[in-house]
Structure 1
Amino acid sequence: MGANSSSISELPENEYLKKLSGAEPISENDPFWNQLLSFSFTTPTNSAELKLLEEATISVCKSLVEKNPRTGNLGSLIKVFLSRTKELKISAECQNHLFIWQAHNALFIICCLLKVFISRMSEEELQLHFTYEEKTPGSYGTECEDLIEELLCCLIQLIVEIPLLDITYSISLEAVTTLVVFLSCQLFHKEILRESLIHKYLMHGRCLPYTSRLVKTLLYNFIRQERSPPPGTHVFQQQTDGGGLLYGIASGVASESFSFSKPFVRS
């Protein structure tokens, strides 16, 4: 993943994924995120492709599980995604593929990571991973953001508020998939989870005002049975020669919009 198209076979050695899961903390304002999220990758459409993806990324996911308590890179990735979703509705209205494309890619990575995290730990441990952040020497503890609740609310708002268009279909589908992954904790525990943290967020927290609209939207979309758009419709079209003035300008604008320290322009 990164500025060039990625294939499943390349993922274990991908330099951007290695950095994400490495020992160095990455600030949410680092230009690295523009590089990581600028990839063209066809989302798996069947169980065989999904299995190949999981096998190819398991080493990266395990590394992040181990090192995230020291780096907080999972939290940084989620904050980057949350910052991009603020522009999604207007991006859909303006047919701005770039913002939607990078937001989708961020959510795709989050969903892949969540599958591994949830299968390997309890909800309480998962919550801790969402609160880890880099600690600078001499800094005092501050109240941590509840990123799980923020992410859940964001996913629900994305599903109910973003119009379902060809360019938003993939990110809407990824939002539904990520919600399903969040709710799959019980599958990995023999004992009955009588007090699920995720259910609590959905039924009693900030998500509550949106839950009825979520059910309505999901039922409405199911009844409509809209055909999925052609693969890659949501992808921002890059030139394949490694350059592209339009892409460079667009990436620069995106960088400024997200207050990155400097714009990322492909070489």
Structure 2
Amino acid sequence: MGIAVTKYSDISTNELVERFCSNEIICPNDPFWNQLLAFNIQIPANVEEQLILDSSAEALLQKFLQNNPQTGNLGSLVQVFITRATELLAAPNSDNVMLAWQSYNALFVIRAVTKYLVELVPEYELCKHLDVQGRNVNSPTPQEQSPPLSPTQEVTDIQTMKSVTGESRVEMLIDALIGLIIDVPITDNTYYLHLECLNTLLVLMSVYMFAGAHGQTQLVETSLIFR
């Protein structure tokens, strides 16, 4: 969101957020992330503030939903968060202000985007949004390469991809969240990071609430998040 973002209304016109949601592929090691994560904003304290945040980000999130399957920017952001979290856990001083601040900011964005996805798409598509690798816009899309898959086939496809590439990003994200909650002491500098870890876990687990709306009648049996 960048240094200029201090209130929810700034989000809709912020150039860095627009770039994150655009069709530009942003790698995890791009200096862009240092700029995006340099913001100060309070998490919503009530339903009204959450609605204001949702409304401010709606148009950009619609663009994100369209572009992320090609860019993989959400997965890159998750990788950035995992890197920051690992550095924080390994730091001699786990009360490191800068690492805690950047980890918190990364989680704030991840949670906002994930909440939007959870409400709109089934869990297997959420996992695909997290796992997708950025590719050239001229490359054929999965739909062009093969016919659409059923939800059961999608789950099998994700599990097959996981067996080839290793742990899925949603599992890596959950592991990082739990690691921070357990191993980072709660101080004035890390309190909001702990809170955001818990909020993000709640958002991820809320896929169960929307399973029926997405036609997932056997989510517990196929879920990566509830595994």
Same fold (TM over 0.5): yes
Asked if residue 48 in structure 1 is aligned to residue 48 in structure 2, the reply is yes
The residue aligned with 1:240 is none
Q: Which amino acid aligns with 1:52?
A: I
Partner Cα separation in structure 2 for residue 3 and residue 187 of structure 1? 35
The residue aligned with 1:21 is 21
Aligned-pair distance for 1:193? 4.1
SS at match of 1:29: coil
**Superposition pairs for residues 120-139 of structure 1, below 5 Å?**
120-135=120-135
The residue aligned with 1:165 is 187
Determine if contact 1:92/1:162 at 8 Å carries over to the other structure.
Answer: no
The residue aligned with 2:168 is 146
**Superposition pairs for residues 64-103 of structure 1, below 5 Å?**
64-89=64-89, 91=91, 93=93, 95-103=95-103
Identity level (%): 33
What TM-score do the two structures reach when normalised by structure 1? Answer: 0.69
Aligned-pair distance for 1:46? 1.1
Partner Cα separation in structure 1 for residue 171 and residue 64 of structure 2? 21
SS at match of 2:50: helix
Determine if contact 2:177/2:201 at 8 Å carries over to the other structure.
Answer: yes
Partner Cα separation in structure 2 for residue 158 and residue 83 of structure 1? 12
**Superposition pairs for residues 175-194 of structure 1, below 5 Å?**
175-190=197-212, 193-194=217-218
SS at match of 2:133: coil
Q: Which amino acid aligns with 2:85?
A: T
The residue aligned with 1:236 is none
Asked if residue 61 in structure 1 is aligned to residue 85 in structure 2, the reply is no
Partner Cα separation in structure 1 for residue 226 and residue 189 of structure 2? 27
Partner Cα separation in structure 2 for residue 116 and residue 146 of structure 1? 20
Q: Gapped runs of 5+ residues in structure 1? A: 204-267
Q: Which amino acid aligns with 2:177?
A: L
Aligned-pair distance for 1:62? 1.4
Aligned-pair distance for 1:194? 3.0
Determine if contact 1:104/1:174 at 8 Å carries over to the other structure.
Answer: yes
| Residues 3 and 158 of structure 1: CA distance in aligned 2, closer, same or farther (over 3 Å) | same
Q: Which amino acid aligns with 1:181?
A: V
What TM-score do the two structures reach when normalised by structure 2? Answer: 0.80
CA-atom RMSD, angstroms? 2.4
Partner Cα separation in structure 2 for residue 112 and residue 197 of structure 1? 27
| Residues 39 and 197 of structure 1: CA distance in aligned 2, closer, same or farther (over 3 Å) | farther
Partner Cα separation in structure 2 for residue 8 and residue 198 of structure 1? 36
The residue aligned with 1:216 is none
| Residues 183 and 198 of structure 1: CA distance in aligned 2, closer, same or farther (over 3 Å) | farther
Aligned-pair distance for 1:83? 0.4
Aligned residues: 201
Q: Gapped runs of 5+ residues in structure 2? A: 140-160
| Residues 94 and 177 of structure 1: CA distance in aligned 2, closer, same or farther (over 3 Å) | closer
Partner Cα separation in structure 2 for residue 33 and residue 70 of structure 1? 18
Determine if contact 1:91/1:97 at 8 Å carries over to the other structure.
Answer: no
Aligned-pair distance for 1:114? 0.4
The residue aligned with 2:153 is none
1:202-258 per-position Cα deviation (integer Å, ceiling 9, x unaligned): 54xxxxxxxxxxxxxxxxxxxxxxxxxxxxxxxxxxxxxxxxxxxxxxxxxxxxxxx
Q: Which amino acid aligns with 1:175?
A: C
| Residues 150 and 94 of structure 1: CA distance in aligned 2, closer, same or farther (over 3 Å) | closer
| Residues 9 and 156 of structure 1: CA distance in aligned 2, closer, same or farther (over 3 Å) | same
1:47-68 per-position Cα deviation (integer Å, ceiling 9, x unaligned): 1111100110111211111100
